[in-house]
């Protein structure tokens, strides 16, 4: 019996996910790799975060988005599951916006982290 939980996200771009994890100082391995779980159970994921307790965390593609895959009983991160997902999602959104605006010819003019934890981003595009 598997103890894995699959938590839906809005994460669809693997590069932005990897950049978000890098920003947060999370050490991850690129997949496909096995996420280790309870009693030797495994599940394949595109991004795997190994934990010292030998129970991993992963992000697995479900056909629409990357789900967080983990045995939550053995969660061993600095943040709670919700805190972790909130931070990853925020950084993911920032990288996604920056990629899309760059594709449309914009450049980041200003980036500011507010006291409430939100990020203010100003982009600009010069036209001839």
- What pTM, to 2 d.p., does this model score? 0.85
Residues in the chain: 128
SS (H, E, C) 19-63: HHHHHCCCCCEEEEEEEECHHHCEEEEEEEECCCCCCCEEEEECC
Q: Is 9 exposed, middle or buried (0-12, 13-18, 19+ CB in 10 A)?
A: middle
20-45 pLDDT, tens digit each = 999 999 999 998 999 999 888 999 99
48-86 pLDDT, tens digit each = 999 999 999 999 999 999 999 999 999 999 899 999 999
């Amino acid at each position: 019996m598997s103890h894995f939980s699959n938590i839906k996200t809005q994460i669809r771009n693997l590069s932005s996910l990897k950049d978000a994890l890098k920003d947060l100082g999370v050490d991850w391995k690129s997949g496909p790799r096995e996420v280790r779980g309870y009693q030797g159970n495994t599940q394949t994921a595109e991004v795997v975060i190994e934990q010292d307790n030998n129970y991993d965390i992963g992000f697995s593609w479900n056909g629409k988005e990357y789900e967080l895959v983990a045995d939550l009983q053995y969660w061993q991160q600095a943040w709670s599951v919700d805190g972790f997902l909130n931070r990853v999602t925020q950084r993911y959104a920032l990288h996604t916006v920056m990629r899309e605006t760059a594709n449309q010819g914009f450049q980041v003019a200003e980036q500011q982290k507010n006291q409430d934890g939100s990020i203010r981003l100003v982009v600009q595009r010069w036209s001839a």
